[in-house]
Amino acid sequence: SHAISQEEKKVVAYHESGHALVSWMLKHTDPLLKITIIPRTNMALGFAQYIPLDRKLLSKEELFDRMCVMMGGRVAESVTFNRITSGAQNDLKKITDLAYSMVREHGMSSNVGLVSFSAEDVKSRRGKPFSKDFAALIDQEVRKLLSDVYQTTQQILNANRDKLEILAENLLKSETLTCEQVEA
Protein backbone atom coordinates (compact mmCIF):
# COMPACT_ATOMS: atom_id res chain seq x y z
CA SER A 1 0.00 0.00 0.00
CA HIS A 2 1.09 3.55 -0.67
CA ALA A 3 -0.53 5.02 2.45
CA ILE A 4 1.78 7.41 4.26
CA SER A 5 1.35 9.04 7.64
CA GLN A 6 0.20 12.65 8.05
CA GLU A 7 3.67 13.54 9.36
CA GLU A 8 5.37 12.08 6.27
CA LYS A 9 2.83 13.77 4.02
CA LYS A 10 3.76 17.10 5.58
CA VAL A 11 7.48 16.48 4.96
CA VAL A 12 6.74 15.53 1.34
CA ALA A 13 4.60 18.68 0.91
CA TYR A 14 7.46 20.91 2.09
CA HIS A 15 9.97 18.92 0.00
CA GLU A 16 7.95 19.33 -3.22
CA SER A 17 7.13 22.96 -2.40
CA GLY A 18 10.86 23.58 -1.99
CA HIS A 19 11.49 22.35 -5.54
CA ALA A 20 8.65 24.49 -6.91
CA LEU A 21 9.56 27.66 -5.02
CA VAL A 22 13.26 27.54 -5.95
CA SER A 23 12.29 26.95 -9.57
CA TRP A 24 9.97 29.96 -9.36
CA MET A 25 12.66 32.25 -7.86
CA LEU A 26 15.47 31.42 -10.32
CA LYS A 27 15.84 32.76 -13.84
CA HIS A 28 17.21 29.74 -15.72
CA THR A 29 14.66 27.01 -15.03
CA ASP A 30 12.00 25.04 -16.90
CA PRO A 31 8.45 26.27 -16.23
CA LEU A 32 6.50 24.37 -13.56
CA LEU A 33 3.52 22.32 -14.71
CA LYS A 34 2.30 20.95 -11.34
CA ILE A 35 3.35 19.61 -7.95
CA THR A 36 1.68 16.75 -6.12
CA ILE A 37 1.97 14.73 -2.93
CA ILE A 38 0.00 11.81 -4.33
CA PRO A 39 2.41 8.84 -4.17
CA ARG A 40 3.41 7.27 -7.48
CA THR A 41 3.94 3.56 -8.06
CA ASN A 42 7.68 4.10 -8.64
CA MET A 43 8.18 4.75 -4.90
CA ALA A 44 8.14 8.56 -5.31
CA LEU A 45 6.01 10.02 -2.51
CA GLY A 46 5.37 13.15 -4.55
CA PHE A 47 6.86 15.06 -7.45
CA ALA A 48 7.20 18.39 -9.18
CA GLN A 49 6.64 18.25 -12.94
CA TYR A 50 8.09 20.83 -15.32
CA ILE A 51 7.54 21.70 -18.96
CA PRO A 52 10.95 20.89 -20.44
CA LEU A 53 12.25 23.67 -22.64
CA ASP A 54 13.50 22.07 -25.82
CA ARG A 55 17.12 23.19 -25.67
CA LYS A 56 20.21 21.15 -26.38
CA LEU A 57 22.81 23.63 -25.13
CA LEU A 58 22.74 24.60 -21.47
CA SER A 59 24.93 27.28 -19.93
CA LYS A 60 26.79 26.89 -16.65
CA GLU A 61 24.19 29.20 -15.05
CA GLU A 62 21.29 27.11 -16.34
CA LEU A 63 22.86 23.91 -15.02
CA PHE A 64 23.57 25.58 -11.67
CA ASP A 65 19.96 26.78 -11.36
CA ARG A 66 18.72 23.32 -12.32
CA MET A 67 20.79 21.82 -9.48
CA CYS A 68 19.37 24.41 -7.06
CA VAL A 69 15.84 23.34 -8.02
CA MET A 70 16.78 19.69 -7.42
CA MET A 71 18.34 20.67 -4.06
CA GLY A 72 15.20 22.62 -3.10
CA GLY A 73 13.48 19.58 -1.59
CA ARG A 74 16.33 18.64 0.75
CA VAL A 75 16.90 22.25 1.84
CA ALA A 76 13.17 22.84 2.43
CA GLU A 77 13.08 19.81 4.75
CA SER A 78 16.14 21.06 6.58
CA VAL A 79 15.02 24.69 7.09
CA THR A 80 11.45 23.69 8.02
CA PHE A 81 11.92 20.66 10.26
CA ASN A 82 15.56 21.12 11.23
CA ARG A 83 16.24 17.54 10.12
CA ILE A 84 16.68 15.67 6.87
CA THR A 85 15.15 12.46 5.52
CA SER A 86 16.07 9.90 2.91
CA GLY A 87 13.51 11.50 0.58
CA ALA A 88 16.12 13.47 -1.36
CA GLN A 89 18.30 10.47 -2.32
CA ASN A 90 17.21 10.49 -5.97
CA ASP A 91 17.64 14.30 -6.20
CA LEU A 92 21.13 14.08 -4.69
CA LYS A 93 22.15 11.37 -7.14
CA LYS A 94 21.05 13.54 -10.09
CA ILE A 95 22.76 16.63 -8.66
CA THR A 96 26.01 14.73 -8.04
CA ASP A 97 26.02 13.25 -11.56
CA LEU A 98 25.35 16.67 -13.06
CA ALA A 99 28.09 18.33 -10.99
CA TYR A 100 30.63 15.69 -12.04
CA SER A 101 29.68 16.08 -15.68
CA MET A 102 30.02 19.90 -15.44
CA VAL A 103 33.48 19.66 -13.88
CA ARG A 104 34.87 16.56 -15.60
CA GLU A 105 33.20 16.61 -19.04
CA HIS A 106 32.11 20.16 -19.87
CA GLY A 107 35.14 22.17 -18.72
CA MET A 108 32.97 24.31 -16.40
CA SER A 109 35.47 24.57 -13.54
CA SER A 110 38.26 27.12 -13.85
CA ASN A 111 40.42 25.14 -11.38
CA VAL A 112 40.09 21.86 -13.30
CA GLY A 113 40.31 23.62 -16.65
CA LEU A 114 39.21 22.85 -20.18
CA VAL A 115 39.29 19.07 -20.05
CA SER A 116 36.71 16.47 -20.94
CA PHE A 117 36.69 12.97 -19.51
CA SER A 118 33.47 11.00 -19.88
CA ALA A 119 32.12 8.69 -17.19
CA GLU A 120 33.17 5.80 -19.48
CA ASP A 121 36.78 7.13 -19.60
CA VAL A 122 36.84 7.13 -15.81
CA LYS A 123 35.45 3.59 -15.51
CA SER A 124 37.63 2.04 -18.22
CA ARG A 125 39.66 -1.07 -17.43
CA ARG A 126 42.90 0.77 -18.11
CA GLY A 127 42.24 2.98 -15.13
CA LYS A 128 41.54 6.68 -14.98
CA PRO A 129 43.16 8.77 -17.73
CA PHE A 130 44.48 11.18 -15.08
CA SER A 131 46.46 11.19 -11.85
CA LYS A 132 45.17 10.66 -8.31
CA ASP A 133 45.92 14.33 -7.59
CA PHE A 134 43.83 15.38 -10.58
CA ALA A 135 41.01 13.04 -9.48
CA ALA A 136 41.17 14.64 -6.01
CA LEU A 137 40.95 18.11 -7.61
CA ILE A 138 37.85 17.05 -9.56
CA ASP A 139 36.27 15.69 -6.35
CA GLN A 140 37.15 18.91 -4.51
CA GLU A 141 35.60 21.08 -7.25
CA VAL A 142 32.43 18.97 -7.28
CA ARG A 143 32.11 19.32 -3.49
CA LYS A 144 32.62 23.10 -3.79
CA LEU A 145 29.99 23.31 -6.55
CA LEU A 146 27.50 21.28 -4.48
CA SER A 147 28.20 23.46 -1.46
CA ASP A 148 27.53 26.60 -3.56
CA VAL A 149 24.29 25.05 -4.84
CA TYR A 150 23.22 24.26 -1.26
CA GLN A 151 24.06 27.77 0.02
CA THR A 152 22.22 29.47 -2.86
CA THR A 153 19.17 27.25 -2.37
CA GLN A 154 19.21 27.84 1.39
CA GLN A 155 19.36 31.64 0.90
CA ILE A 156 16.38 31.51 -1.48
CA LEU A 157 14.25 29.39 0.86
CA ASN A 158 15.23 31.29 4.02
CA ALA A 159 14.31 34.58 2.31
CA ASN A 160 10.95 33.11 1.24
CA ARG A 161 9.92 31.04 4.27
CA ASP A 162 6.44 32.62 4.23
CA LYS A 163 5.87 31.59 0.59
CA LEU A 164 7.22 28.09 1.30
CA GLU A 165 4.77 27.66 4.17
CA ILE A 166 1.76 28.92 2.19
CA LEU A 167 2.65 26.70 -0.75
CA ALA A 168 3.20 23.60 1.40
CA GLU A 169 -0.01 24.13 3.40
CA ASN A 170 -2.01 24.59 0.16
CA LEU A 171 -0.40 21.45 -1.24
CA LEU A 172 -1.34 19.51 1.92
CA LYS A 173 -4.96 20.62 1.49
CA SER A 174 -5.28 20.04 -2.27
CA GLU A 175 -2.65 17.29 -2.78
CA THR A 176 -1.97 18.60 -6.30
CA LEU A 177 -1.38 22.20 -7.41
CA THR A 178 -1.16 23.41 -11.00
CA CYS A 179 1.24 26.12 -12.12
CA GLU A 180 -1.59 28.71 -11.91
CA GLN A 181 -2.42 27.69 -8.33
CA VAL A 182 1.26 27.90 -7.36
CA GLU A 183 1.53 31.40 -8.84
CA ALA A 184 -1.57 32.54 -6.94
Q: What is the pLDDT of residues 22-60, one digit of tens each?
A: 999 998 888 878 888 887 766 677 877 777 777 778 899
**Active site amino acids:** 16
With contact defined as beta carbons under 8 Å apart, do 44 and 10 qualify? no
Residue 180's region, left for phi above 0, alpha for psi from -120 to 50, else beta, is alpha
Q: Give the least confident one: 20-34, 69-83, 119-133.
A: 119-133
> What per-residue confidence (pLDDT) applies to 1?
42
pTM of the model: 0.90
What homologous superfamily does CATH list for 6-183? Peptidase M41 (1.20.58.760)
Does the pLDDT of residue 10 top 60, yes or no? yes
Higher pLDDT, 3 or 144: 144
Per-residue pLDDT tens digits for 82-104: 998 888 899 999 999 999 999 99
Q: Is 141 exposed, middle or buried (0-12, 13-18, 19+ CB in 10 A)?
A: buried
For residue 9, pLDDT beyond 60: yes
Q: What confidence score (pLDDT) does residue 12 get?
A: 92
Question: DSSP assignment, residue 184?
Answer: -
Average pLDDT score, the chain? 88
List the chain domain ranges. 6-183
Other CB atoms within a 10 A radius of the CB of residue 184 amount to 9
